[in-house]
Amino acid sequence: MGSAVIRRDKPSVLVVRGREDVTRLLSQTPLFFAYRGPHGDWFKEVAERHAESAEWHLLPPAESKAATRRELLTGGFIRLRDTVVVDQSRCIWCGLCAKSCPASAFEYVEGKTLRVKYEVCIDCGLCNAVCPVAAVKMPSLPDGYLADLIKTAPGPLKFICDYAFQDGEEEGVRVKCIAAVPRQYLYLAAARHGEARAHCFRGETCPLWPAVERWGAGLRREGEDFVAQAERSPLQPGDRWHTWMLGAAVGMPVGVVKVAEGCTLCGACVNVCPTNALTLRGHELRLTPALCVACGLCVDKCPEKVMTVELAPVPNPYETKTLFRDQPARCRLCGRELPYTESMARRVAQRLRESRLPSDHVYLCEECRLKSSPA
């Protein structure tokens, strides 16, 4: 009775030239590493190495389908969905996946639950692109595969979406949607040859466009191409976080946090930062931009609502920058340093006044407080 094992379809490698019709091949499996262009041998060598180790077994079936008797007998296969999978054990709870998802397809409880609601998910892969630690992955776009393509590419790399690949005009490496490509890999690809491109075939008419729009913010547009440019550098991409750190060095936008007047150096932001980008040193709040993924957790948790964050290229991104500096508060009577900052004292005193409570003692050291309190 033949191999009764249900064979789930497996990524295959597709290299085409010109407008060769690929629809028949695509109907056989949605999972493939594919390329159109003049460097087929290069691509085949890299892709075949990764097709073998791809984690296709993690993927949900494309349609809820039990194996038929015929499949049982003939060793048929179940069509897999080219989408994302999550590995909660790797998650640092930055929340970027759930915040970025254009379909609100995440069940997300910080520190507890991380699940993709596949019934809602549109398979855009954006959550894969924004996850700094590959706790969200896309088996049809493994990081190792991207890194090897970048390290070995004979010329500027171009990623083209599935629609463009099927259309047959554009040359490049096929991805399900360009929004699935972690941008740090695009920047490392750009650093190899000066620029790298990602081609979105259908633009605003595509159901996945909301994901591309978010993904492409800050990249130069040239027609249907999103273009990343970077300083030339032989830096070698690696895993997701390692490549993020390198991307920062070649001009990839990283988190730029700003702190306005009113910060009390309470440290709430430092405690929630999932990448340790923020530190408190003495009476200074500091940021290492290369570590900031602009998740916005610090902004959300800041009790004084004085923080903002945006993505932007930063010169010397590994250099720790002071975001806010304050002086220690001093006793108004003896001048001794108090165990909190000027702004904290100001804030506490203000709150006490708002509650019509005495506030002068905030600016006194313990000794002077005792001396000045009525016997």
List interacting residues with ligand SF4 (CB under 6 A): 83-84, 91-97, 101, 103, 105-106, 114, 116, 121-127, 130-131, 133, 135-136, 211, 255, 257, 272-273, 275, 277-278, 292-298, 309
Q: Is the dihedral of CA 329, 332, 336, 339 positive or negative?
A: negative
Distance of closest approach, residue 201 Cβ to ligand SF4, in angstroms: 18
List CB contacts of 167: < 8 A, sequence separation 6 or more. 201
Distance of closest approach, residue 314 Cβ to ligand SF4, in angstroms: 12
Distance of closest approach, residue 111 Cβ to ligand SF4, in angstroms: 10
Please state the three-class secondary structure of the chain as a single string: CCCCCCEECCCEEEEECCCCCCHHHHHHCCCEEEEECCCHHHHHHHHHHHHHHCCHHHCCECCCCCCCHHHHHHCCEECECCCCEECHHHCCCCCHHHHHCCCCCEEEECCCEEEECCCCCCCCCHHHHHCCCCCEECCCCCHHHHHHHHHHCCCCCEEEEHHHHHHCCCCEEEECCHHHCCHHHHHHHHHHHCEEEEECCCHHHCCCHHHHHHHHCCCEEECCEEEEECCCCCCCCCCHHHHHHHHHHCCCCEEEEEECCCCCCCCHHHHHCCCCCEEEECCEEEECHHHCCCCCHHHHHCCCCCEEEEEECCCCCCCCEEEEECCEEECCCCCCEEEEEHHHHHHHHHHHHHCCCCCHHHHCCHHHHHHHCCC
Compare residues 277 and 362 and give the one whose CB is closer to ligand SF4: 277
Compare residues 190 and 254 and give the one whose CB is closer to ligand SF4: 254
Compare residues 26 and 122 and give the one whose CB is closer to ligand SF4: 122
Compare residues 129 and 345 and give the one whose CB is closer to ligand SF4: 129
Compare residues 67 and 268 and give the one whose CB is closer to ligand SF4: 268
* Distance between CA atoms of residues 101 and 28, nearest Å: 29
Distance of closest approach, residue 120 Cβ to ligand SF4, in angstroms: 7
Compare residues 80 and 277 and give the one whose CB is closer to ligand SF4: 277
Compare residues 228 and 273 and give the one whose CB is closer to ligand SF4: 273
Distance of closest approach, residue 190 Cβ to ligand SF4, in angstroms: 23
Compare residues 126 and 190 and give the one whose CB is closer to ligand SF4: 126
Residue pair 236/207 in contact (Cβ under 8 Å)? The answer is: no
Compare residues 106 and 145 and give the one whose CB is closer to ligand SF4: 106
Distance of closest approach, residue 138 Cβ to ligand SF4, in angstroms: 8
Q: Which of 82, 75, 149, 162 is nearest to 121 (CA)?
A: 82
Distance of closest approach, residue 141 Cβ to ligand SF4, in angstroms: 11
